[in-house]
Chain A
Amino acid sequence: MLKIQNLHAKIGDKEILKGINLNVNPGEVHAIMGPNGSGKSTLASVLAGREDYEVTDGSVLFRDKDLLELSPEDRAREGIFLAFQYPVEIPGVTTINFLKTALNEVRKYRGEEPLDAVSFLKRMKEKSKLVEIDQALLSRSLNEGFSGGEKKRNEIFQMAMLEPKLAILDETDSGLDIDALRIVANGVNKLKTPNNATIVVTHYQRLLDYIVPDFVHVLWNGRIVKSGTKELALELEEKGYDWVKAEVTPA
């Protein structure tokens, strides 16, 4: 589904990704872990098409298409979803308002009929239950005055509505208490099918207690320096990142 080969990216003059290789297949959950500043969020941003970053080398294929050639909106329409680490507040734009437009843009791209108001509301009701988000929030200005937990739940709600093929969760656990974390993780788990895949970007292991990964990758200094199964995450939790750094740094 996703094939990243030798991906290099920089912001300004600073090279942040220095040769990422990663394959993600349908039905898989991949966790990308690493210390602060290792390039985790940059990877998520580059995949979603944030224009602050310049890709200098390498390739990304998503369902056999050159992802790097696509605009952010076309990536979304192809089925990529980024759950933001810091969801923006947009006064005057309600979640329902923009999501209806977004959903129909995605459907149009896929050659599907737009959803009528009734079907949209029905779907909204269903999905808002799934992520336990108060429907009243969805009629308010996007994220304005939302708590940290409400913002993240709203991200997962949007993901549920848009039904992406590849969801990238960028530090979705940051700023969440344990109840909110459980609710968000539950939502993600319920959305999992054999046809979609998830990349969970996180600093801490605790989210992975709820969203169990098939693969864990350690990102450090712009490269994936170690890959393993969920046990690797537990080991990192116990020992920290220093031993991985020591392992890959030539003495």
Chain B
Amino acid sequence: MGNSSIMEGLKDQLIGQIEALDGTTGPGAAQQKNAALAASRGLQFPHAKNEEWKYSPFSLPKNSAFQLLASQAKTAFHFRNPGLEHVYFLVFADGVFQAGLSAQNIPGIEIQKIESPQDQSLPYENNIFNHLNLATAHLSGISLKVAPKAVVDQPVVFLHLVTAAENAWVQPRIQIEAGERSEAVFAEMWQSENDSLLVFNMVTELEVKPSARIKWISFENLSRQITLVNQTRAEVREKAVFQHVVLSMGQGFVRNNLEIRIHGEAGDAHMYGLSLGNHKQHADHHTFVNHKAENTTSNQLYKGIYAGKSIGVFNGKILVDQAAQKTNAYQSSKNILLSADAKVFAKPQLEIFADDVKCSHGATIGQLDEEPVFYLRSRGLDEATAKHLLIQAFASEILMQIPDGELKTLVEEAVLSEMQAMTAPS
């Protein structure tokens, strides 16, 4: 049985399970579910012949059945607090938001179930993951509203936990509306309790209202059995600032689709990524930035360090509409290969329809320079320490984008220990 028929089988399995789920609360939701399922039937899981997925074909081991988890409201879950005391946790367990395990009151934020997702931001890419996710949005989704002018005093952390013993497929959906002039920091992280295979099919949609300042930190420190398809869309309005920082590490498979549209004048988007590849990890960053208004700025810096047999992908597309004069758009991808078996694919794309813009893009792929290594060794540092120091320095430009506090400490410690593993003499 070829991979494509395995994946067709999986699709049928998932669609059947979604059809059987209860809990559609109104005719709107039912209609939405049916439309999303119909769209899913007409699509395939992306394979290597699909241009946008050619370096990251979506495949799962054959004969693996998946249980779609979307309706179990459970109370007996425990999550391991990774050492964050001053954050608001919002916990999703087995794909479902667990109000009982989550922060009860977040000043300035109102949380609701998604009754009927308006799906205002049509994705750039019409992929099956979007439609499957949409089909369970009424069960697996929550919607957050940050009140205008609210300054949320602690980071809000989405913790995605799976405890199921069988192979599980979960698809949380998060919608956030950040009111005018509000400020907040959001983060997301993942935990699994056992060795079964897990697929996270995540969709996050952000509406960043005028003059709001929103930071998002995606801490993808995944264990080996996790496959994460993480799609994030942000609509950035006038004078708003949206900053997205993604850390991809651990051992799983991750595909990030980050799509940002800057609709309002003087809107800013800052996008940073750090991938630490080791073993057979696969980290794919696809970005799409659409400048739709004048005087808008986007800045992308994605760095990767790859050891073992890991694979890194960066595909960044910038689209500047004709109306978006005086746009500044920068994009850079810098990669270091620490092993002969690691691979990086980098592809920048620019499409510019305005004539008064400043755009730049570039990608570098190379080994760690020998000269700085020798320099540090000649001062008494052993080779592993020298390399460790150099890749730490390389990564620091991304890590410094995370706001100071426990979250930053948590990420930095994980990054440091991962780097130690990557540079340890073999």
Contact = CB atoms under 8 A, between A and B. Distances in A.
Given A50-B374, A102-B376, A92 B392 contact: yes
Given A88-B372, A88-B375, A102 B390 contact: no
Contacts of A84: 375, 378
Contacts of A106: 380
Interface string B389-412: 110111011000000000000000
B22 interface: no
A82 to B, nearest CB: 5
B179 to A, nearest CB: 37
A155 B189 CA distance: 44
A99 interface: yes
A93 B380 contact: no
B80 interface: no
A87 interface: yes
A102 B379 contact: yes
A83 to B, nearest CB: 10
Nearest to B388: A101
Contacts of B60: none
B413 interface: no
Contacts of B418: none
B119 interface: no
Given A73-B381, A98-B381, A103-B380, A92 B374 contact: no
A49 B382 CA distance: 13
A99 B381 CA distance: 9
Given A73-B383, A106-B380, A101 B389 contact: yes
Interface residues of A, number: 31
B378 A49 contact: yes
**What is the predominant secondary structure among interface residues of chain A facing chain B?**
helix
B377 A92 contact: no
Contacts of A98: 376, 379, 381, 389
A51 interface: yes
B389 A93 contact: yes
B385 interface: yes
B390 A93 contact: yes
A102 B380 contact: yes
Contacts of B378: 48-49, 72-73, 75-76, 81-82, 84
A152 B380 CA distance: 19
A82 B378 CA distance: 7
Given A72-B374, A84-B375, A101-B385, A92 B393 contact: yes
A231 to B, nearest CB: 33
B319 to A, nearest CB: 31
Given A51-B374, A105-B385, A91 B393 contact: yes
A77 B380 contact: yes
A93 B393 contact: yes
A128 interface: no
B371 interface: yes
12 contacts: A71-B377, A73-B377, A73-B378, A75-B378, A76-B377, A76-B380, A77-B380, A84-B375, A90-B376, A98-B389, A102-B381, A162-B379
A-B complex: 6 closest residue pairs judged by Cβ atoms: A92-B393, A76-B380, A72-B377, A102-B379, A102-B380, A105-B380
